[in-house]
Every structure is written in structure tokens, then in C-alpha cells.
Homo-oligomer: A and B are copies of this chain.
Amino acid sequence: MRGFVLYNSLTRRLETFSPLRKNEVRMYVCGPTVYDYPHIGHGRTYSAFDTLKRWLAYKGYDVYHVMNITDVGHLTGDTDYGEDKILKRALEKKMEPMVLVERMTDAFFEQMELLNVIKPDLTPRASCHIPEIIEITKKIMENGYAYEVNGSVYFDVEKYAKDYTYPEFIGMDLEELEKNYRIEPVPEKRNKWDFALWKRAPPSHILQWPSPWGYGFPGWHIECTVMSAKYLGEEFDIHGGGEDLKFPHHTDERAQAFAAFGKGLARYWLHTGFVRINGEKMSKSTGNFVYLHEATERYGGDVVRFWAVNSHYRRQIDYTEEAMESARNALDSLYIFMQDLEEAGGGSEKDMYREEFVRKFEEAMDNDLDTVTAIKSMFELRNKWYNENLFERVSEEEAKKTYDTLLRMGGVLGLGLDAKTYRRKVLERYQDEIIKMLRDIRDEIRKRKLYEVSDEIRERLKEFGIELMDSREGSRIRFRR
């Protein structure tokens, strides 16, 4: 096995990946807070981690993939002030919060399916782990890294920073953090960087549970520490999420893990870059914002996936009409290539280039998932075929091998390049028109008294469940399974 190099946000450098267990990779990716439909940024991030997972599988690893669903405790301020995002939206919509949660979760996975993102093995929900969250919070208090005030429990950052590094990932110490991050002060905290493990709930708060500190709800960060450790162990291989999670979310998740277990969860921490819209920062408040379903409805899930993986996962990526149209054109030219390959053959030559471009593809993927170069190698292979017109020169078997190779490369990137599926997609839109055209053609043929041809059409269509019934005004069509 060739070395697979990944950029580790923890060390801020490229490292050769080596899992804790032989042949097995255990991976946790921070999932969505399901108070709204997913946006285009979710499409980008989860396409990237899905590609990572597919690449690990290609390399022979068993991948065990856990992604949480946050359904409580994520506040509008992203730290310890503001309202619970789920509860706020549920009240606005006059819905039971968990009905909102289920609907948004289903919408999320529906969009993921359109992007060809394989569902994680496990998608635990935060609100389903209240007993475990209370246990770990107690443990952190016992270890001296948290304190209770008025029914809330806070993590003691000052104490922790004496024993461990805080923050991580962003290359700052607490002093620099002070200068670069604004945070709302919460008077009952000992230190402004302290964060809540458990928050007391006012009686009106619907999402609350009993705890040793009274009724309340968990902090956002502790949820991921608890769920990742519960299902993957206190130490596992990969932990991922969007760039914005480096601080405070991942920093605090890891701090809690050290404070509870003396271990920091994952060995490799991966982060995806932001999506910009027309060159500007995405933001709901300014309206420079795109829901994922808007993109998939407009361009198709396969085009959005192609757009997402046709940029390096750590870089910012721009969502523009031109970018999407260029993604569609590029992807369509691959689909046409697949159709041409399906019918190629008849010659006796071998495909001289396949292995070379597979090697290029693999090297690119091994180089911190350089999907841009990997896709380029697919197009180089394609261009060779057209430039040297291999379609007539190679044997049918060779053409089939190249088709399968493309299918496999596409598979790693989450692109379903299968020609038959593509044809169905095209056909679906005009199915009724096409059948009516068939009928019109046949009527035309009958008018010209070519009964031999028109009868054959009728017989063959019947085999397909389509009956033509001739009458004076032309023929009628009936479908029967």
C-alpha cells in the first residue's frame, strides 16, 4: 500500500496516514444542527468526507463512519449565549421541536442521497444521549476541570490550559485568542473562555431533562465528545468537520476528552474550506445564501457533487452560475464518453493509456485527496481516446475495461458515471412525449401503407407493456405492466 498523505489540522502539516487498527479506519464527522434545510456548504463538506471514506475503502480499509445529528444545545451565538437553534425555529413554526428535527434530518439525508453521499454507519442524535452526557460531565467535574454554578456546569479553561494546550487548531494561545475572537461575557463564569457542559433550563424551555444539577440541557460541544467516544472509543482515527468548527467546537470537544479520559479523541483532524457565493461570504442575513436543494433542483445532484469534488477540500470554493454550468458541461462530456465507450470495439489494440492515468489518479488521491488532479487524469484519459480515436482501434473487451475503470474512478469521487442511469435521467423528463412521437411515426407509416413496418412496431411495443390500438382517428396507447 502506497502512503496516503493527509493534512492534519492538529499539527498543521501533511502526515502519512496510519490507522490505530490494521485495515480499519474509525471516523467521526460533525453533522448538521437540524433546525433548517441544509445549505450548499453542507453539500461541499459531506461530499468531501464521503470522498475520503470512498478513497479509504478503495485502499482496502474497512471504514466505520459516525456522524452526529445535533438536535439540542446548539445556541444561536455558537457559544453560551443566545437561544437554542432548534427550539427557536420550532416556536416560530409552532411545531413540536422533535417534529422539526425529524423533518430536517430527513431533508438532510434526502439531499445527501442526491449528492451520492453514502449514509454513515451510525448517525446518533444528541438528545438521545442525555444519560451519557451527564456521566461524562460528572467525570470532568471529578477530575477538577469543571464547576457548577446555579444549576449550570462550566468547563474551567484556565485550569485546563495549565495542563494541556488550549486552544488548538488555530495556532493561537489564549492571549492571541483574546485579541482575535469576540465572545459575549456570561457573569457566572469564572473565566470568559469557560464554556457550558450543562445549562440550567428555565421552566418554559421545552427541551430539558433532569440532572444532578437540576433540569437543563447539554452544551453543544460535550455532545460530540460523548457520542464520538461512546461509539468509536476514547481514541480513534479521524475527526472532521467544516473549517468554522476548529474553534470553539473542536477545540472544546478535545479539551473535554482530555479532561475526562486523558485522551484527545482523534489522531487526525480534518477541516473543509468555506463555500462562497459569487465571491462573497455566504450569509443568511445578507441573503447571499443558497440552500442545497436549490442547487440540486437547478443543476441536478450529480452536477453539485462534481462541482464540490472538483476543488480541493481545504480550499474555499465559489458557487456561481458559471461554475455550475461548467461543472455540468464537464460531467456531461464524461457521460458522453461513457456512452461512446459502451459502443466502442471491433479493433484488436489494447488501451495503452489506462494504467498510466489510473496511477496518476491514485497518486493524486494519496496526496491529501487532490481530487482536482484526480479528475484531470480522467479527462486526460478521455482526451487520448478522442485524439487517437481508440474507439475503433481497441477490442470490445478493452473498451469495457476502460469503461469499468472510469466507473471505479468516478465511484471514488461519488460520481455515478453509469451510462444507463444517465439515459434514464434524460428520458424521464420527456417520457410521454417520446411515446407519443412513436405513435405519430407509426401513424405516418401506416398512412404510407408500410404495414409490415407498422405491425412490427406494434408487436415490439407490446413486449414492452405498451399497447397500440388502431382506430379511425389514429392509434391510442395503453400501458400495462
Contact = CB atoms under 8 A, between A and B. Distances in A.
Interface stretch (A309-317, A361-369, A418-426): A418-426
Nearest to A135: B210
Interface of A: 96, 98-99, 102, 106, 119, 121-125, 127-128, 130-132, 135, 209-210, 231, 300, 328, 332, 335-336, 339-340, 343, 419-420, 422-435, 437-438, 441, 444-445, 448, 450, 453, 457, 460-461, 463-466, 476-481
Contacts of A480: 332, 335-336, 426
Copies of this chain present in the complex amount to: 2
Contact of A98 (B231, B420, B437, B445): B231
B457 A441 contact: yes
Contacts of A465: 426, 429-430
Contact of A431 (B102, B106, B423, B476): B423
A437 B131 CA distance: 63
A391 to B, nearest CB: 11
A324 to B, nearest CB: 13
A435 B427 contact: yes
**5 nearest CB pairs, A to B:** A128-B128, A430-B464, A426-B479, A426-B465, A131-B209
A179 to B, nearest CB: 42
Given A339-B478, A445-B445, A481-B300, A437 B460 contact: yes
Contact of A131 (B123, B210, B430, B464): B210
Nearest to A126: B128
B464 A433 contact: yes
A428 B435 contact: no
Contact of A444 (B102, B122, B453, B464): B453
B125 A98 contact: no
Given A423-B431, A441-B441, A478-B339, A131 B130 contact: yes
Given A98-B231, A464-B433, A479 B131 contact: no
